[in-house]
């Protein structure tokens, strides 16, 4: 139930069987946004393996603009957590009545529990790629980083790790706290570790915040 390489003339073709495709579909379905982590440490070699796989992601002009910062310093992590708490409180105030009550009951980050914090940036000053493909859509640099985040997420899931993407943050504060170059733009802040629980349904579906939308509803024909 894997892929196999075939040499056809001077070209190598890789074929994946039905068993592999089903396992891949299961991986997509079981990728969850994790907020509840065990306190088990994550082996450095395992984390590096997932980051190596993330580096295989496609990028505009092959620019590879992603920059991963592992945040191990407890004081820096505490500053990021305080940024989340400020933003989370402000976000709650933007809702009314029942929706606000539902919001405050949600657990939206595992910043205090996750053994690994990864801040993921786009280096918008990167000269790699020589500008190919981004003269008309410069945002493609950031989209490339999003692709790397998704690849890392799936790789982590395949190794039993959980990942939570925290977006309720002040990007400028995170950049200052982590002392990164001014050309780096924050794309994602990830909590990584082994999940406390496994469940196939997304947490926001489970707690009634937002149901899944059928894939067909997102397809428009022209």
Q: Is the per-residue pLDDT at 1 higher than 70?
A: no
Share of the chain above pLDDT 90, in %: 89
Task: State residue 2's pLDDT score.
Answer: 67
What is the 3-state composition of the chain as percent helix, strand, coil, each rounded to the nearest 5? 40, 20, 40
C-alpha–C-alpha distance, residues 67 and 55, integer Å: 10
Q: Tell me, what DSSP letter sits at residue 66?
A: E
- Across residues 11-29, what is the average pLDDT? 90
Residue 149 has a CB neighbour count (10 Å cut-off) of 20
Task: State residue 200's pLDDT score.
Answer: 85
Q: Comparing C-alpha atoms, which of 61, 54, 177, 182 is closest to residue 124?
A: 182
Q: Is the per-residue pLDDT at 32 higher than 70?
A: yes
Q: Report H helices in the chain.
A: 18-30, 44-54, 74-93, 97-105, 140-158, 171-178, 203-206
Task: State residue 190's pLDDT score.
Answer: 98
For residues 50 and 16, which has the higher predicted lDDT (pLDDT)? Answer: 50
On whether residue 5 sits in a domain, the answer given is no
Task: State residue 12's pLDDT score.
Answer: 77
On whether residue 44 sits in a domain, the answer given is yes
Token pair listed for 194: 């082994």
Share of the chain above pLDDT 70, in %: 96
In tens, the pLDDT along 62-115 reads 999 999 999 999 999 999 999 999 999 999 999 998 999 999 999 999 999 999
Q: Is the per-residue pLDDT at 7 higher than 80?
A: no
CATH, residue 204: 3.40.109.10
C-alpha–C-alpha distance, residues 189 and 169, integer Å: 9
On whether residue 56 sits in a domain, the answer given is yes
Range of the domain at 112: 27-214
Q: Comparing C-alpha atoms, which of 153, 93, 94, 75 is closest to residue 120?
A: 153
Task: State residue 11's pLDDT score.
Answer: 80
On whether residue 221 sits in a domain, the answer given is no
The structural domain count of the chain equals 1
pLDDT band at 143 (very low <50, low <70, confident <90, very high): very high
Residue 76 has a CB neighbour count (10 Å cut-off) of 17
Q: Comparing C-alpha atoms, which of 94, 99, 87, 112 is closest to residue 164?
A: 112
Q: What's the mean pLDDT when you consider all of the chain?
A: 94
Task: State residue 46's pLDDT score.
Answer: 98
Q: Is the per-residue pLDDT at 165 higher than 70?
A: yes
pLDDT band at 16 (very low <50, low <70, confident <90, very high): confident
């Amino acid at each position: 139930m894997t892929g196999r390489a075939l040499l056809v003339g001077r070209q190598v073709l890789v074929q994946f069987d039905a068993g592999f495709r089903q396992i891949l579909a299961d991986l997509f379905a079981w990728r969850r946004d994790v907020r509840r982590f065990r306190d088990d440490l994550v082996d450095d070699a395992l984390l590096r393996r997932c980051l190596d796989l993330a580096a295989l992601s496609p990028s505009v002009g092959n620019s590879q603009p992603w920059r991963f910062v592992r945040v191990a310093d407890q004081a820096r992590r505490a500053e990021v957590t305080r940024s989340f708490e400020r933003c989370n409180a402000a976000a709650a105030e933007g809702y009314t009545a029942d929706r606000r009550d539902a919001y405050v009951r949600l657990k939206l980050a595992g910043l205090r529990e996750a053994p690994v914090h990864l801040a993921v940036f786009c280096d918008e000053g990167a000269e790699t790629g020589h500008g190919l493909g981004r003269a008309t859509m410069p945002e493609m640099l950031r989209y490339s980083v999003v692709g790397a985040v998704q690849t890392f997420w799936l790789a982590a899931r395949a190794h039993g790790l959980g990942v939570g993407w925290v977006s309720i943050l002040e990007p400028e504060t995170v950049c200052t706290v982590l002392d990164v170059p001014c050309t780096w733009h924050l794309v994602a802040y990830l909590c990584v570790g082994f999940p406390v629980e496994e469940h196939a349904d997304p947490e926001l579906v489970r707690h009634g915040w937002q149901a899944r939308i059928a894939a067909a509803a997102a397809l428009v024909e022209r």
